[in-house]
């Protein structure tokens, strides 16, 4: 039985990200108050965006969006010395993978999750779900701000 989205269905993603930052950088990311994106998600798009698309019991997507500077800092904290676009994209991909794994554990096998993909800057291909506004959860880390955009609705 599919249910309307519950707070814990959103929290699972913010927890996954904070856990990632804690584990990989040893420093906590501060989750700010979540809000609804009312006028399209374009303003959220940072330099690097990792998207996982979900279908099955719930449909929609979860996107992690972060500026280059934040990711560079994360790479530095992880002891990396190469700061190419690919390495930045790898981090976003890894976070998207973490989100995907956590989603699968939380929602069970009834959910089909596509492999994470990277959205280019400005690419607005986030699938829109009518009647449900996406949730934005901003995360502060070392003065930078990344965003998690969760847009999920019970599947057809």
Partner 1 sequence: MKTLLASLFGKYRDLVLAIGIFLLLDAGVSAINIYTSRQIEADASRINAAGLLRTYAQQLTKGLLTLEMDLRNGQRTQSSLAEISEARLGFDDARLALEKKLAQPSALPLIEPESLRQHAQELLASVVRTWEPIDREVGPLIVNADPDPESAARAVQKAVTRNNRLTQQADDLSETLTEMANKKTSTVRLIQAIAISLAFLNFAFILFKFIGRLAASDRQTAAAREETERILGSVREGLFLLTSKRTVGGQRSQSLDRIFGQQLQPGADFLAFLGRLTSTANAEAARDYIDLLFNKKMKQSLLEQLNPLVEIELLAEQRTKKSPSYLTFEFNQIRENGQVVALLVTVFDVSQKVRLEHQLAGAEARADNEIALLLGILDHNPHEVADFLSRARDTLQLINGELQSIQPLRQPYPQMVNRIARIVHGLKGEAATLGCSSISRAAHAFEDILQPLRGRNDLAGDDLIPVAVALSTLLSEIVKVEAVVKRVQHFAGGKSDAPPPDPLGDSLRRIEQYALRVAEDLNKQVRFEAAVPRLDHLPPALASVLREAVPQLVRNAIAHGIEAPADRLRHGKPATGLVRVELTSEADGTLTMTIHDDGCGLSVEQLRGVLIERELYSPAEVAALSDAQVIATLFEAGVSSLDSAHQHAGRGDGLAVVKAALRDLGGRLRVNSRANSHTRFIMQIKPA
Residues in contact with partner 1 by the rule CB under 8 A: 1, 4-7, 10-11, 14-15, 18, 30-36, 38, 56, 107-112, 131-133, 135-138, 140
| Alpha helices (H) in 78-137, listed in sequence order | 85-107
Three-class secondary structure of residue 143 per DSSP: coil
Closest distance between partner 1 and the C-beta of residue 17, in Å? 10
Closest distance between partner 1 and the C-beta of residue 56, in Å? 7
Residues whose CB falls within 8 Å of the CB of residue 71, separated by 6 or more in sequence, listed in order: 47, 48, 88, 91, 92
Please give the span between the terminal C-alpha atoms of the chain, in angstroms, as a whole number: 12
Instruction: Select 87 or 106, whichever has its Cβ closest to partner 1.
Output: 106
Instruction: Select 94 or 145, whichever has its Cβ closest to partner 1.
Output: 145
Residues whose CB falls within 8 Å of the CB of residue 133, separated by 6 or more in sequence, listed in order: 36, 37, 38
Instruction: Select 24 or 129, whichever has its Cβ closest to partner 1.
Output: 129
Instruction: Select 14 or 49, whichever has its Cβ closest to partner 1.
Output: 14
């Amino acid at each position: 039985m599919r249910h309307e989205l519950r707070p814990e269905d959103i929290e699972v993603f913010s927890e996954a990200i904070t856990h990632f930052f804690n584990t990989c950088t040893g420093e906590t990311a501060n989750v700010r108050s979540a809000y609804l994106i009312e006028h399209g998600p374009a303003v959220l798009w940072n330099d690097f965006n990792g998207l996982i698309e979900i279908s099955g019991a719930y449909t929609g997507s979860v996107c992690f969006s972060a500026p280059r500077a934040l990711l560079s800092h994360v790479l530095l904290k992880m002891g990396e010395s190469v700061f190419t676009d690919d390495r930045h994209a790898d981090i976003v991909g890894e976070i998207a993978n973490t989100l995907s794994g956590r989603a699968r554990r939380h929602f069970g096998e009834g959910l089909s999750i596509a492999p994470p993909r990277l959205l280019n800057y400005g690419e607005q291909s986030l699938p829109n779900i009518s009647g449900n506004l996406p949730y934005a959860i901003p995360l502060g880390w070392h003065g930078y701000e990344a965003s998690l955009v969760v847009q999920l609705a019970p599947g057809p």
